[in-house]
Amino acid sequence: MGQPPTPRHQLCHAAGCFGSLCTKHEAVFSMASPLAVVAFTQLWGREASRASGQQSPERVPKKCQKAREHFGTVRTQMESLKTKFPADQYYRFHEHWRFVLQRLVFLAAFVVYLESETLVTREAVAEILGIEADRERGFHLDIEDYLSGVLTLASELARLAVNSVTAGDYSRPLRIAAFISELDSGFRLLNLKNDSLRKRYDGLKYDVKKIEEVVYDLSIRGLTKEAPVGVGGEK
């Protein structure tokens, strides 16, 4: 059986879709569903961020299972949203749910990471949210929204590395460091435009530095006796 794809390999695959992004149009479009999802993600985001770091390791799977149950509400909202506009005008109204989708991508990616310490694929996120991954099939997960959500995950993992040390888990920061390193290598292969996504990516180096400082501090204090652990728990 082959090794699972690393974050770098998955982002390389995403890069192949990056050049086909559609031009976004401005519009005034009021709807209740996106606002409901915004409120939901703000409340749930705080709960998901506390699912690890502050919890004992054996409680994390239960927290992840509870988090996955919330996605049923998201799928219901998405089904309602799909009926609010013509299928061929996705990008005309995209700005009204773009932030919500990016936040939901982060939440899905965070849950998957806590479960398996792997990077969730764009297709897997689309399935979790009850939308399409393929633009031609209607309401879909835009590649930029997926990448923005992944970058938010990197920032959260940097905080998780610090919280893990506080909780006495000295091996998790090493695994997070390996994961973020792979993620950074993958993003370096993308030809990003000078837009909001590029600005978000520029912040990734600070997350990398923050995690490296945690690992260095653990090393000089002699708290890491085992060899660094790679992505997915590989030695």
Nearest CA-CA partner of 146 in 134, 164, 162, 158: 134
Which residue do the tokens 């559609």 mark?
22
Q: Give pTM, 2 decimals.
A: 0.75
Which amino acid, one-letter code, is at 141?
A: L
Residue 149, pLDDT score = 95
Which residue do the tokens 């695994």 mark?
175
Residue 18, pLDDT score = 37
70: Cα separation from own chain's centroid? 16
Can you list the positions of beta strands (E) in 127-230?
none
C-alpha 22/C-alpha 152 separation (Å) is: 23
Residue 235, pLDDT score = 46
Find the farthest-apart pair of alpha carbons in the chain and give their distance in angstroms, rounded.
60
DSSP secondary structure letter of residue 140? B
C-alpha 176/C-alpha 157 separation (Å) is: 7
Measured over the CA atoms of residue 58, residue 59, residue 64 and residue 66, the dihedral's sign is positive
Residue 44, pLDDT score = 52
Dig out the tokens for 89 from the structure: 């005008």
Helices (H), the chain: 7-18, 32-49, 60-82, 98-116, 122-129, 143-166, 172-188, 196-202, 204-220
C-alpha 227/C-alpha 224 separation (Å) is: 8
- Answer whether 226's CB lies under 8 Å from 178's CB: no
Q: Torsion angle of alpha carbons 87, 89, 91, 93, nearest 10°?
A: -100
Nearest CA-CA partner of 90 in 44, 58, 128, 136: 136
Can you list the positions of beta strands (E) in 75-228?
none
Residue 103, pLDDT score = 93
Which amino acid, one-letter code, is at 206?
A: Y
Measured over the CA atoms of residue 132, residue 97, residue 37 and residue 176, the dihedral's sign is positive
Q: From first to last of its 235 residues, what are the pLDDT tens digits of the chain?
A: 555 566 655 554 444 433 333 223 222 223 334 444 444 454 455 555 555 555 566 778 888 888 888 899 899 989 988 888 888 888 888 898 899 999 999 999 999 999 999 999 999 999 999 999 988 888 999 999 999 999 999 999 999 999 989 888 899 999 999 999 999 999 999 888 878 899 889 999 999 999 999 999 999 988 876 534 544 445 4
Residue 191, pLDDT score = 85
